Amino acid sequence: METEPPTVEWTGDGLRLLDQTVLPGRVEYVVVRDVGTLVDAIRRLVVRGAPALGVAGAFGVAIALREAAREGWDAAALAEAVTRVREARPTAVNLAAGVDRVRPLMGAGAEAVAAEAQAILDEDVRGNRAIGALGADWILRRLGDRPLRVLTHCNAGALATAGWGTALGVVRELHARGRVEMVYADETRPLLQGSRLTAWELARAGIPCAVQPDGAAPSTLLRGLADVAVIGADRIAANGDTANKIGSLGVALACAAAGAPLVVAAPWSTVDTALPDGRGVPIEERPAAEVLTWNGEPTAPAGVAAHNPAFDVTPARLVTALVTETGVLEVSSGQTPGAARPARG
C-alpha cells in the first residue's frame, strides 16, 4: 500500500502542486511563484477539489504578496491579483473562503499569511480523518456491520484535499475496518477524474475497485450491485442542496429509485450558509474542447456546439446524509446545514 504525495505543499517561497492533469501516467509537479501560474494551474485542474482549492487559494495570497514586493505593485494591483486567485473557479466555495480567511493578515506580510494557510491545510487533514470515521460509523449503523459495495463519483480523495480525502476518506476508513467488498468508481466524463485519479488512489491503497462509465451508475444501483453511494461536494446550500461534479445528480436519482443511501462527505467549510438553496450556485462552464475533442483530435462534427457544465446540483431531498467533521446531518429527514451549528475548535 502506497501513500499519495502531497497535493499542495508550501516550499517557503511558493507552492509545489502535484500535477493532476498527467496522472496516472506520470507523477509530476508544478512550482508556483506567481499569481498567473497559480490561476492557470487552478483553471487547468492541476490542483482541484474544493478543500485543496481552499488551501491553494490561501497560499495564493502569500504568493501575491511576494510577487507584489518583487514587482513593485501598488495596493490596487495587489488587490486585483488576490481577486484573480479568489475567482479562478466560481463553484467551489472553499477557494473564496481560503482567500478570505487569510486576507485580514495581509498587512502582517507573506509569512503570516503562509502560516495561516498552513493552519488551513493541517485542519483539513484532521477534519478529513474525522469525516472518514463519522461517515463509516453512520453507514455501518444504517446498512449493517458487513462488507459493502460502494459507488463513488469523480474524485473526493487525498488528491482533492490536503490529505486522506472526504468521500474516499470514508471509503478508506471502511477499508481499514475490513468493510469494503468493492468500489465502483464512475469514470467522470469528460476529464476522467474517476478513472485517472480515484482508481489511482484506490489501487495504491489496496482497495478493490472497478471503473465504470458514468452512464452505468444508475444500472449498478438499480441492479443492487452497490449498497451505498458516497460523493464529495463543492458547495452546499443552507437547505442541503449540494453542488458536485456533473453526473452526481444522476447518481442521486438512482439512489432514490434503488433505496440506497446517498452520502455526501465534505468539510464544514464547503457549506455556504449565506446561500439559501442550490438555485444560487454558480455553475462553471468548461471549455468546449473538453467534450468536442480527445487528445487534440475532433470527436464531433465541425461547427457543433458544446454544453459542458462542470457541476450539477442535487436537491436536499435526495441527500440521505451529509457528513462533515462536525457530525452527520440526515438532510433528507429535515436536518439542514443552515439550522446546524458547527463545532468550534
Across the beta sheet with 8-10, what order do the strands follow?
Answer: 8-10, 15-18, 29-32
Catalytic residue IDs? 234
Question: Which helix (H) or strand (E) covers residue 289, if one does?
Answer: helix 289-292
Do residues 53 and 267 touch, judged by C-beta distance below 8 A? no
Axis crossing angle, helix 50-71 with helix 110-143, rounded to the nearest 10: 180
Q: Which three cell numbers stand for residue 168?
A: 474516499
> Can you say whether residue 12 is alpha, beta or left, with left for phi > 0 and alpha for psi between -120 and 50 degrees?
left
CA 166, CA 138: separation in Å to the nearest integer? 14
Q: Which three cell numbers stand for residue 293?
A: 475533442
Q: Which three cell numbers stand for residue 292?
A: 468536442
Sign (positive/negative) of CA torsion 206, 242, 248, 25? Answer: negative
Task: Concatenate the DSSP letters of all residues of 155-196 into one string.
Answer: --BGGGSSSSBSHHHHHHHHHHTT-EEEEEEE--TTTTHIII
Half-sphere exposure of 259 (CA within 13 A, CB side): 4
CA 81, CA 75: separation in Å to the nearest integer? 10
The contacts of residue 104 (CB under 8 Å, 6+ apart) are: none
* Eight-state DSSP code of residue 198: I
Half-sphere exposure of 293 (CA within 13 A, CB side): 10
Q: Are strands 228-231 and 148-152 parallel, antiparallel or unpaired?
A: parallel
* Eight-state DSSP code of residue 309: B
